[in-house]
Structure 1
Amino acid sequence: MHIVGLSTLLITGLALLGQNIARPRAPSLERMTFCASIAAGGIALPVWMLTDDPANAEILLLTGSLLTAPRLLALFTRKPDGVSWKGPLRWPRVQAGLSLLMAMITAAVWGLLVDLDAGVATGAAALVLSWPHFPDLLDQAVVRRAFKTAREFGAEFNGPAALTALSRTQSVAFDKASLLQSSVPVVTDIQSFDNKPEPLLSVAASAEYFARHTIGAAIRAIADDWGLAQAAPDEWEEVPGLGCVAMIGGKSVAVGNGKLMSELGIDCFTANAMCKPFQSDGKTCIFVAVGTRLVGLIALQSALDPDTPPVLANLKQRKIRTLIVTGTDQRAAEGFARNLTEANILTDIRQADRLSAAEKALGDAEAVFMSVADSGRRGLFSLSPAAAMSERLMVSIETGRLGTFPALLDLAAETVERLRLLRLVACVIGLLIGLSGSLGLVSIQIAAFVLLLVAGTVLALTRRVDP
């Protein structure tokens, strides 16, 4: 028994040391339960060395082993994806404190009323039975169940912390593209000042030959549909958020918005007036200039995702503030959001600046930002200033599943509440079981079998909900 107890404590101590070295930012709940278990087991060693009674020494070492062994079990049964919970520690901490208090009172009362041996035995039994052995494994079971449900919604959570952050959401900012049925717009109108749309479209498509932006893709697509020639430009430069400038056949060609034309000193007063009807319909106007002369404009429109209005209405019912961030000007943005009265609009924001602009506009840690990745999946990013950029992606949602966003909010809130109740119930049950040891109804030897039974049940529960 001495060798088993000492070996268990030594192995667990080394595991704790390796865990803290390998993961210095390990979740505080994990660190607390590791350290508390090691400390409780470590107290047994000096007491064992000072006592002459082998029976007491065996009981103390058995107690230390029973406290530390579940930590090893939790460590070695954790999945490679590192599912762990970073939620509040209130109930495990309360349970651990009350467990120690119960054990000390039990040992003192039995030691005074009966004898030292009885005090050690009952105190050890109370401690082992009431200690919070498996809070992380219980949390793991609940979190994995939530992840499995999220996948049925077409979503992937980027770790358990995303559940907490999403459950606290008070504001949501949307990149305009995340509210569209497709990230690639469609050309709806072509206005050429010389009434020859084909040459205008051919020049614009050639200028956008190397462009990776969705507008460039839309212009090239309609030029292909019309069977127009597209030549790679001799020189090409992208102006982020504004458009592009190219050299084609020795002539300078600019394709972009009004800001680009202003920077190039090209007058677009007449074109701006022509754009107003298009912008009122929520369309985006792109100007085309050859040399220093504006030769026409192209209007594009993106179809709104049919789930967008009900999602925004749902968020309004939840009293969640919404914001749409777009690169278009105020008139085009107002036309786009004409039927989306639930949201405020932030206009003229370049793509690369939209996340930071949303963070500045909303200005609180309980906000998220939705945008579209290159793969077409929507991503939910934390706007918390405390979150590192590598940790900001919380959830990714499959294409065409925008309507599941309210369900994800419900799932996150329900999971956090379920975890809170589970910890509370585990705390109460653990202390009630510990009370049976404190009253002398369960011996330390039987407590070992009780702990083994609980461990098997928890592991079975965890495996059952594994995806």
Structure 2
Amino acid sequence: MFSAIFSLLGLSFSLNTSVGRPLSLVTTLAGTGLLAVSTVLLLSGPASPETNAPALAAAFLMVLRAFGVVLLPPRGDHSGVPQAGWSVLLALLAAGAWWWIFDRAQAPVALAAALLLSWPQLIDGINAFADKVFHKAALAAGARDIAPGTFTKVAQARDILIDKAAVMSGPNLMVTNVMAFNNEPKTLLAVAASAEAGSSHPVALALRELASQWQVALKMPDRFEPTPGLGVVALLGGQTVVIGTTDLLKRLKIDSFTADAIARSLEADGKTVLRVAVGGRVVGVLGLEGTLRQDAGVAGMALRKEGLVPWLFSGDNPNTRSALAGMLGLELTEDPKPGETAQEAAFRCFPDTAPLVLTLSQDRMALELRQAVAPEADRPDAGNTPLAVSNTDDIGAFPALKALAMRRNLLAVHARQVLSGLWLCAGLSGASTLLPLSAAPVLFGICLLVLWTFARFSVADTLHRNE
């Protein structure tokens, strides 16, 4: 009885967390019930081995559960409460059969053995064992910094929104078209590059690089106001300079009809097109493009093969986005809202499916996989922790991560079936008094061995390919 009570201290951290609490609480109640049975038997007559059996089973039950939550911390994928209910029912039926049909003295032993040997000690920790092995396989595939719960979230996802920046071969853009309406191209470039002289945005860097190549002198703007997702407004030499999309010009009531007609042919080639207006009048068009990753299209097909529908997120004009999606074999989402991030767009377009989002990190040195969630009022940073990260040249790590997550789920189903079969056979053997209570630790070890075998062999081929 003291063993059962002290084991409760080991379960305290499991009882204080939502994950793992259901089965730990039910285990505590079952152990308390067994102790109560032994107490009643002791008060009703002299002590005997049959009298001690329920208390001994309670001690084993609590100790093994304490070891279980330490060795295989519950992941929350399966509570185990339904299986525990079946164990209680089996134990009650066994005790009733011995009491009414066979030997009444053996009823407490049958009750204790059936409950202990059929108890689903590890059922809510099956995926913890899988995570340890699959984590190594994911690292071998190129994924790193894998957050807890990643495999479950990736396995359940059906859509993935891919930011345009994540499929570019590098962070740099290149100015390919400088089309001035009334002035020389160098004059248009000087105005645009000067307006963006103090910015670190990739567009500004591309303009300044071309200005350096053309040996164009630049000036610092008197005022600079970026508008995320739309462009910039600057004050240069007493005149207002606007560089951005059609939406920005419409917001400022600047007519861009001529520029839009020219831009359509550039956007059809997948280029980013910016209009340049000085003093409220459009004076030219800039065309920029980056280099697409050679493996971007392959990664999109690999994601489809693993059951994910890849969608493109880009703040470009609809024509540009359509051209890029066609090149990469990606689906198109609804038009993004001004200044909207990829994660915000994913939640807006797929509010009920918890899609994944693949973006470039802020330092532009890594690819980050996140889950789109609604920012909570008290947690504005919700969803900011990446599920997994890879180097920019390892975009294939994410299709591999999805494949591993699906394989892990299949492993959990098969392992649960095997363990449930073992517990049922052991419970029936205990109910018939063929197995003693001391067989419980041996059964616990066999279950651990089964889980290790399942997990190891399910990723053996993946580990072998990457070694």
If the length of structure 1 is used for normalisation, what is the TM-score?
A: 0.83
Q: How far does residue 267 in structure 1 lie from its aligned partner after superposition? A: 3.5
Is 2:99 aligned against 1:85? no
Aligned equivalent of 1:450:
442
- Any conservation in 1 of the 2:173–2:290 contact (CA below 8 Å)? yes
Is residue 67 from structure 1 mapped to residue 55 from structure 2 by the alignment?
no
User: Aligned match of 2:30 in 36, 40, 63?
Assistant: 40
Seen in structure 2, the aligned counterparts of structure 1 residues 408 and 247 have a Cα distance that, compared at 3 Å, is same
> Would you say the 8 A contact 2:375–2:382 is kept in 1?
no
Other-structure match for 1:152 = 140
Q: Aligned match of 1:9 in 4, 27, 38? A: 4
Structure 2 residue 367 is matched with structure 1 residue 374: no
Match of 1:418? Answer: 411
Q: CA deviation at 1:152?
A: 1.9
Matching residue of 1:213: 201
* Distance across 2 between alignment mates of 1:462 and 1:310: 31
Within 5 Å, give how 1:75-154 maps onto structure 2. Answer: 75-77=69-71, 84-89=74-79, 92-112=80-100, 115-154=103-142
257-266 vs 274-283, greater mean Cα deviation: 257-266
The code of the aligned residue for 1:42 comes to T
Instruction: Give identity over the alignment, percent.
Output: 27
Name the CA distance, whole Å, in 1 between partners of 2:393 and 2:249. Answer: 36
Q: Does 1:192 align with 2:180?
A: yes
**Paired amino acid for 2:32:** G
Q: For 2:442 and 2:325, how far apart are their aligned partners in 1?
A: 62
- From 314, 317, 333, the equivalent of 1:326 is 314
Unmatched 5+ residue regions in structure 1?
none
Q: d(CA) in 1 for partners of 2:334 and 2:171? A: 19
In structure 1, give the amino acid aligned to 2:442: V
Distance in 1 between residues matched to 2:412 and 2:245, nearest whole Å: 51
> Structure 2 residue aligned with 1:269, among 249, 253, 257?
257
C-alpha contact (below 8 Å) 1:364/1:384 kept by paired residues = no
Matched with 2:432 is 439
Offset, 1:212: 4.1
CA deviations over 1:300-353 (Å, ceiling 9, x no partner):
012222222233344556675443232111222233334345523534543425
Letter in 1 for 2:405: A
Q: CA deviation at 1:224?
A: 4.3
Measured on the aligned residues, the alpha-carbon RMSD in Å equals 3.5
Instruction: Show CA shifts across 1:365-422 (max 9, x none).
Output: 1633333231433333434679997257544343122234333222211111110110
Structure-1 residue corresponding to 2:238: 250
Call closer, same or farther: CA 1:189–1:217 in 2, change over 3 Å: same
Over 3 Å counting, the alpha-carbon distance change for 1:224 and 1:153 in structure 2 is farther
Q: How far apart are 1:245 and its partner, in Å? A: 1.6
CA contact (8 A) 2:190 2:218 kept: yes
Count of aligned pairs: 450
The answer to whether the 8 Å contact 2:167/2:293 transfers is yes
Structure 1 stretch displaced more, 310-319 or 235-244: 310-319
Distance 1:405 1:38 in 2: 41
Report the secondary structure of 1:54's partner residue. Answer: coil
Q: Distance in 2 between matches of 1:285 and 1:9?
A: 71
| Aligned counterpart, 1:308 | 296
Q: What residue number does 2:167 align with?
A: 179
Q: Match of 2:460?
A: none
Describe how 1:375-414 pairs up with structure 2 within 5 A. 375-376=363-364, 377-383=366-372, 390-391=382-383, 393-414=386-407
Secondary structure of 1:298 counterpart: strand
The alpha-carbon distance between structure 1 residues 345 and 44, as it changes in their structure 2 partners (threshold 3 A), is closer
Q: Is the CA contact 1:137–1:462 (under 8 Å) kept in the aligned structure 2?
A: no
Distance in 2 of aligned mates of 1:138 and 1:41:
22
**Unpaired segments ≥5 residues, structure 2:** 458-462
* Structure 1 residues 297 and 441: CA distance shift in structure 2, 3 A: same
Residues in 2 aligned to 1:41 and 1:280: alpha-carbon distance in whole angstroms: 70
Say if 1:43 and 1:109 are closer, same or farther in 2 by CA, change over 3 A: same
